[in-house]
């Protein structure tokens, strides 16, 4: 009971002074009100919640937005031709953005979409988020459904040639941003979504991705190098038959980051890959990848590949789950989470889980934590490579398996460059 009381107190404190966005179509107001009701019902998390055992929710619970220094950030994806969509301090920035127009793509502001009486997102807003609360509460996602005012709405009707790039910028050192993105990839359509930038002193992004049969969705995200970032992100995806979902996140620095990805494979023969690499330096680095994949159809494949490089007391967390429903025969599930601890102060906490109700299933998971291979290090040094450079090479080698999950070689190269830059600057 003490926990319930603590949760309701925390929720009350966090919501004090907040009110649901005004206006909007009636369906949007209902979805927001429903989310607020659910949020007060479940309550915001406490450290004692099993799902928050490794990551303190305190930074996300503080009623006042913390201050975060605006650090210069390397601009992301400069070498890629994109449709740029800029959000400054969590608000769509039309001036800095490209025209919201591209072939095979319907694109508009979330803030506009929720005012329309008839809109396709009506059937999706909060739906995947609600379904994603299966077995565990994700109150910050519900918070997002209730309070997000801006974001982007994308509907791909065919192959979209240029990736859409969500470029988060910041001008205010106390900016709090709550962004909601809605994505629908129609039958046979293809879309690539990129995200990068500083975002906010405290950022909460929520994304619902509905992929119809034979649809393909690629998601590549760069978080960094602003260190004083607090970010809670959720990606909810539902996959139709023979559809493909691939998501990769590179995180450099960040005092508090929790990235949750929740996927349901709903149509037969669907494929979902989620991967990430996080590099952290210092006691104030905390990065958490939490993934929940539900197999609810036949012959689907899922992969989770997460790598963390930690030094000087940095902490990395991985919570990954594969749930195989009774009818999800011929499931192929793979999960690996590994950390490279560059000194004895670094911490890696992992909780891999499998929950399987079907009998014809192939699922494997592994989690390792290790130091630099001294033999390999000596081999490199014996060829004239100085210790720090040799170590960088081995770090790049360590994260290579995760980077290999990015299909587009150009994007992979951009991320590799960011990574190499981080190593060279030593942060």
Residue 400 interacts with other proteins (CB under 8 A): yes or no: yes
- Any contact of residue 401 with other proteins (CB under 8 A)? yes
C-beta of residue 288 within 8 angstroms of C-beta of residue 319: yes
Cα distance between residue 305 and residue 370, in whole Å: 16
At 341, which helix (H) or strand (E)? strand 331-341
Using the rule CB under 8 A, which residue among 374, 409, 425, 426 binds other proteins? 374
Task: State phi, psi for 179 to the nearest 5 degrees.
Answer: -115, 140
Binding range to other proteins, per CB under 8 A, among 22-30, 169-177, 340-348, 388-396: 388-396
**Rg value, the chain, Cα:** 21
Residues 275, 222: Cα–Cα separation, whole Å:
12
| Span 309-338, contacts to other proteins by CB under 8 A | none
**Under rule CB under 8 A, residue 376 binds other proteins:** yes
Nearer to other proteins, 105 or 309 (CB): 309
Whole-number Cα distances in Å, 100 to 16, 81, 196, 419: 36, 15, 18, 31
- Smallest gap from residue 183 Cβ to other proteins (A): 32
Does the N-terminal peptide bond of residue 249 adopt cis geometry, omega within 30 degrees of 0?
no
Q: Judged by CB under 8 A, which of 29, 365, 381, 427 binds other proteins?
A: 381
413 counts as binding other proteins under rule CB under 8 A: no
CB of 348 or CB of 398, closer to other proteins = 398
- By beta-carbon proximity to other proteins, the closer residue of 112 and 387 is 387
As given in the structure block, the two tokens for residue 232 are 């809670």
398 near other proteins (CB under 8 A): yes
> Considering the rule CB under 8 A, would residue 423 count as an interface residue with other proteins?
no
Q: Give the interface segment with other proteins, choosing from 119-127, 136-144, 207-215, 385-393 (CB under 8 A).
A: 385-393
**Terminal C-alpha separation, the chain:** 44
- The phi and psi torsions of 298 (rounded to 5 degrees) equal -85, 145
- The yes or no reply on residue 416 touching other proteins (CB under 8 A) is no
Q: What angle do CA 91, 95, 100 make, to 5 degrees?
A: 85
Q: Which of 230, 139, 257 is nearest to 176 (CA)?
A: 230
Is residue 380 at the binding interface for other proteins, with CB under 8 A as the rule? yes
* Beta carbon nearer to other proteins, 213 or 401: 401
Question: Is position 424 an interface residue for other proteins (rule: CB under 8 A)?
Answer: no
> What are the residues facing 315 on neighbouring strands?
286, 347
b (16+ CB within 10 A) / e for 129-140? bbebbeebbbbb
- The reply on whether position 26 binds other proteins by CB under 8 A is no
Residues numbered 195-234 forming contacts with other proteins, rule: CB under 8 A = none
Contact 216, 190 (CB under 8 A): yes
Residue 229 DSSP class: -
Contact window for other proteins (CB under 8 A) among 82-90, 251-259, 295-303, 379-387: 379-387
Q: Does 425 bind other proteins (CB under 8 A)?
A: no
How many Cβ atoms sit within 10 Å of the Cβ of residue 13?
13
Number of residues counted as binding other proteins (CB under 8 A): 23
Q: Of the two residues 383 and 426, which places its CB atom closer to other proteins in the complex?
A: 383
Which residue lies nearer to other proteins by CB, 383 or 425? 383
Pairing between β-strand 202-211 and β-strand 230-239 as defined by DSSP bridges: parallel
If one asks whether residue 17 binds other proteins (CB under 8 A), the answer comes out as no
Rule CB under 8 A: is residue 357 a binding residue for other proteins? Answer: no
Judged by CB under 8 A, does residue 372 bind other proteins?
Answer: no
Candidates 379, 410, 417, 421: give the one binding other proteins (CB under 8 A). 379
State the alpha helices, DSSP H only, in 52-171: 58-61, 110-113, 127-131, 139-147
Q: Which residues sit at the interface with other proteins, rule CB under 8 A?
A: 374-376, 378-387, 389-390, 393-394, 396-401
């Amino acid at each position: 009971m003490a926990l319930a009381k603590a949760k309701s107190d925390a929720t009350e404190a966090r919501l004090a002074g907040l009110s649901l966005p005004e206006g909007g179509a009636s369906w949007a107001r209902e979805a927001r009100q429903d989310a607020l009701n659910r949020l007060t019902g479940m309550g915001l998390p406490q450290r004692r919640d099993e799902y928050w055992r490794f990551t303190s929710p305190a930074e996300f619970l503080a009623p006042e937005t913390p201050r975060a220094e605006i650090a210069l950030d390397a601009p992301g994806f400069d070498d890629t031709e994109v449709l740029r969509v800029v959000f400054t301090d969590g608000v769509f920035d039309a001036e800095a953005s490209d025209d919201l127009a591209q072939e095979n793509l319907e694109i508009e502001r979330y803030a506009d979409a929720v005012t329309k009486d008839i809109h396709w997102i009506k059937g999706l807003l909060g739906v995947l988020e609600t379904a994603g609360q299966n077995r565990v509460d994700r109150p910050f996602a519900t918070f997002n459904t209730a309070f997000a005012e801006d974001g982007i709405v994308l509907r791909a009707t065919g192959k979209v040639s240029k990736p859409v790039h969500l470029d988060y910028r910041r001008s205010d050192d106390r900016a709090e941003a709550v962004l909601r993105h809605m994505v629908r990839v129609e039958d046979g359509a293809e879309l690539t979504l990129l995200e990068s930038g500083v975002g906010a002193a405290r950022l909460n992004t929520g994304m619902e991705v509905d992929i119809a049969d034979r649809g393909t969705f690629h998601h590549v995200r760069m978080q960094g190098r602003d260190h004083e970032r607090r970010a809670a992100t959720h990606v909810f995806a539902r996959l139709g038959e023979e559809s493909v979902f691939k998501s990769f996140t590179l995180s450099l620095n960040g005092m508090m980051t929790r990235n949750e990805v929740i996927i349901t494979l709903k149509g037969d023969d669907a494929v979902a890959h989620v991967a990430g690499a996080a590099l952290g330096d210092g006691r104030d680095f905390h990065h958490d990848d939490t993934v929940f994949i539900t197999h609810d159809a036949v012959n689907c494949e899922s992969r989770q590949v997460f790598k963390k490089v930690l030094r000087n007391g940095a902490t990395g967390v991985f919570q990954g789950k594969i749930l195989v429903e009774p009818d999800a025969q011929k499931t192929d599930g793979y999960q690996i989470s590994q950390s490279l601890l560059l000194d004895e102060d670094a911490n890696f906490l992992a909780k891999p889980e499998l929950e399987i109700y079907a009998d014809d299933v192939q699922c494997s998971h592994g989690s390792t934590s290790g130091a630099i291979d001294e033999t390999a290090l000596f081999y490199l040094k014996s060829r004239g490579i100085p210790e720090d450079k040799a170590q960088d090479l081995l770090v790049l080698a360590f994260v290579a398996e995760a980077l290999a999950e990015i299909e587009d070689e150009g994007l992979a190269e951009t991320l590799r460059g960011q990574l190499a830059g981080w190593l060279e600057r030593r942060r």
